[in-house]
Chain A
């Protein structure tokens, strides 16, 4: 296992660049050093890695940090794909809307609908 390249050996420009990026993130200052070390570990042989590549590594590191600290919530729950998945909504066609005959009583409703709604009181 190779020795990690110390951050101190980077050019001042590179460190300033990475620190500037970190300061724009919600990562607390106390954790900056850890993330920079992560970048350094990714380039064990280079004294001062290419800034674009180093930044790309840092961006990944920040993304991981954001995920780990639940800064980016999951947007939507998984789509329900069980047997209850919508029988309809599949909109009615115009023809169906136009010609539909009324269900004279709620008893005429499909049993699946009644069960789905918990409409079992009666």
Chain B
């Protein structure tokens, strides 16, 4: 038990005092370029007479510039930390330290309508890697399912049972599907904690697309053991298995700059860092004591379940007196990225709503100021798009007003003296260059870190490929930035207008975006880009040129979305070595293992059909059913009869799921299908008539 005055952590020292100075220093560095930039901006804006328009533009500009400056300085701190290779404030442990038997750890994998084969391929890879360390006995895996799709849920059960059988992991790899998806992922984890949390000292929360090397898992536990004040330790997930051009771009830039940014974040966040919801180890007891989240008062989207729960859980952990750190030096933590722009945007829609909910917590009691800032920062991740949009729009209006009204040489205040037009081209160009430096220098620094070390340079495919990748990524991100801006603006507005995001599983497959789908989703953006470009050209051709990078992204958003989603194109880029990343040519063993999807045992039918027709899948499903509950039970007899009379296609997904909850109906149907009473109906369930001797 802890008693007496709080002693300093043996290795981290009095980091809180250092953290205060670092944050003060960061605030100064952010403010330092923002005010001069705002001054220059005020001078280059056209039309001195539109005071309120100019003031609005300036205010937005300052917020955006400070936002960019913060990212810039974070990258600089990270660059220095990685270049010197020295960071005193990092949660480390002796790698030879044996694990205590009491440090029992659960690896949780919450899933919702994911591809079961891929989920279990990743789980299997992590399991095998962990067993290979020789210290796997004190770890247990829990697949916590919120799946609602009847076909997927049956396949999940099947894949789980097969995995357990093949790995000989009965009692070590568990599976549970919730009846009610209360509070989504955070509720799923909370449900685990309530029922089984006390059996474990730690839990490592994974995402459905997470993958972890066994050594990394051991390291995380070891570090937690060595630092008893740490409540959450976040490993940095590296993107793997990217195939489409977009995913490969994201993978490349994350490998290039991710370590630098996280080292930079660690520099000023220190023990008040955030949790990203997966690939992190959590001390279970304080999590249970302090991180049970309530529903926000009021209806969704700004009320109801807290969607981006991870940031809030980290803040609650710190509020409870515990520390949250980033373990940016740990390798062997992986995730996948959405393969297409539309998938990414669909995910952003949920994140946007979740981050905007955080604004309601800004004034809640007891949170550390840094976490309040992070709540604001998270919301700004999306609100900044609205500001960019407003900035560009107001800029267009201001230019149009100035162009149409013409310059007023004589104002009432000016008397007889004319106000001459002054060209501020050089100041405008200086400001633009400063902004571009702020935006693009971090990526260049990331490339420098890679290039200056022979081993990393070779792992990225050599100097030429690093530079080619860097420029291609810059071009791609410039083109996609306006598309994201328009979507994020819409998401912010939808959320503020009360429209809630849907919760569905993410597409992690490689299906590309069709032209029709792209037209449906990007038609508005294309039209907006064309109209905006036409107006800008009509108003002032020079202004059109300034805006052209933004307009290009919007006007070509449909082909950008389609081509960036093509696996074939991504594979061609890979063969040419563009966006090559370390481990791509010779992937780590755990990544290689995750690509080997297990051979699915043959069964009669698949999904819902298999649960009724295949004996083993049927019995497995019955075994996993819990006592029936709910008022909808009254529908079971009718559904059962309809299913038998009219075949499986007579039931919709909701009805199928409902029927899957009744063991009596399932057993009855199973018997009927195999009884040979009605071969025609049985054939509809995939059961061929018996061959009579």
Residue A51 CB within 8 A of the other chain: yes
Question: CB-nearest residue of chain B relative to A58?
Answer: B674
* Interchain CB contact under 8 A, B3 and A80: no
Q: Within the complex, which residue of B6, B228, B601, B620 is in contact with A117, where a contact is CB–CB below 8 Å?
A: B228
A72 to B365: give the CA distance in the assembly, Å: 49
State the Cβ distance, A33 to closest chain B Cβ, in Å.
16
* Interchain CB contact under 8 A, A79 and B195: yes
* Interchain CB contact under 8 A, A72 and B364: no
* Interchain CB contact under 8 A, A16 and B691: yes
Residues of A contacting B316 with CB < 8 Å? 92, 97
Residues of B contacting A55 with CB < 8 Å? 671, 674-675
Q: Hey, which bits of chain A sit against chain B, CB under 8 A?
A: 12-13, 15-17, 19-21, 24-26, 51-52, 55-56, 59, 62-63, 66, 70-77, 79-80, 82, 84-94, 96-111, 113-122
Given A89-B288, A114-B1, the answer on whether A97 and B293 have CB atoms closer than 8 Å is yes
A113 to B322: give the CA distance in the assembly, Å: 11
* Interchain CB contact under 8 A, B693 and A109: no
Residues of B contacting A121 with CB < 8 Å? 228
Question: CB-nearest residue of chain B relative to A85?
Answer: B198
Max chain A Cβ within 10 angstroms of own Cβ: one of B175, B284, B291, B623: B623
Residue B431 CB within 8 A of the other chain: no
Given A73-B170, A80-B199, the answer on whether A59 and B615 have CB atoms closer than 8 Å is yes
* Interchain CB contact under 8 A, A102 and B288: no
Task: Tally inter-chain residue pairs, CB-CB below 8 A.
Answer: 204
* Interchain CB contact under 8 A, B693 and A16: yes
A77 to B170: give the CA distance in the assembly, Å: 10
Could you list some 22 contacts between A and B, CB below 8 A? A13-B692, A16-B693, A17-B690, A20-B690, A51-B676, A55-B674, A59-B615, A73-B164, A73-B173, A74-B171, A75-B174, A75-B623, A76-B174, A89-B190, A91-B293, A97-B293, A103-B319, A105-B6, A108-B321, A114-B2, A116-B285, A119-B229
* Interchain CB contact under 8 A, A59 and B670: yes
Q: Which of B294-302, B407-415, B419-427 contacts A (4 or more CB under 8 A)?
A: B294-302
Residue B358 CB within 8 A of the other chain: no
* Interchain CB contact under 8 A, B201 and A118: yes
* Interchain CB contact under 8 A, B693 and A79: no
* Interchain CB contact under 8 A, A107 and B6: yes
Main secondary structure on chain A at its contact with chain B?
Answer: loop
* Interchain CB contact under 8 A, A76 and B1: no
Question: CB-nearest residue of chain B relative to A120?
Answer: B1
Residues of B contacting A76 with CB < 8 Å? 142, 174-176, 195-196
Residue B95 CB within 8 A of the other chain: no
* Interchain CB contact under 8 A, A62 and B321: no
A105 to B292: give the CA distance in the assembly, Å: 20
Residues of A contacting B290 with CB < 8 Å? 88
Given A66-B619, A100-B364, A102-B366, the answer on whether A77 and B601 have CB atoms closer than 8 Å is no
* Interchain CB contact under 8 A, A75 and B175: yes
* Interchain CB contact under 8 A, B295 and A94: yes
Given A73-B165, A118-B228, the answer on whether A89 and B197 have CB atoms closer than 8 Å is yes
Bitwise interface map of B from 607 to 624 toward A, beta carbon under 8 Å scored 1, else 0: 000000111100110011
Residues of A contacting B613 with CB < 8 Å? 24
Given A109-B321, A114-B2, the answer on whether A88 and B289 have CB atoms closer than 8 Å is yes
7 shortest A-B CB distances, which residue pairs? A91-B292, A103-B321, A116-B285, A12-B693, A84-B198, A102-B366, A100-B366
* Interchain CB contact under 8 A, A86 and B198: yes
Residue B604 CB within 8 A of the other chain: yes
Residues of A contacting B12 with CB < 8 Å? none
A74 to B561: give the CA distance in the assembly, Å: 45
* Interchain CB contact under 8 A, A118 and B171: no
Residue B286 CB within 8 A of the other chain: yes
A105 to B520: give the CA distance in the assembly, Å: 54
Q: Within the complex, which residue of B102, B193, B368 is in contact with A118, where a contact is CB–CB below 8 Å?
A: B102
Residue B98 CB within 8 A of the other chain: no
A74 to B175: give the CA distance in the assembly, Å: 9
* Interchain CB contact under 8 A, B196 and A72: no
Question: CB-nearest residue of chain A relative to B291?
Answer: A89
Residues of A contacting B624 with CB < 8 Å? 75
Question: CB-nearest residue of chain B relative to A97?
Answer: B294
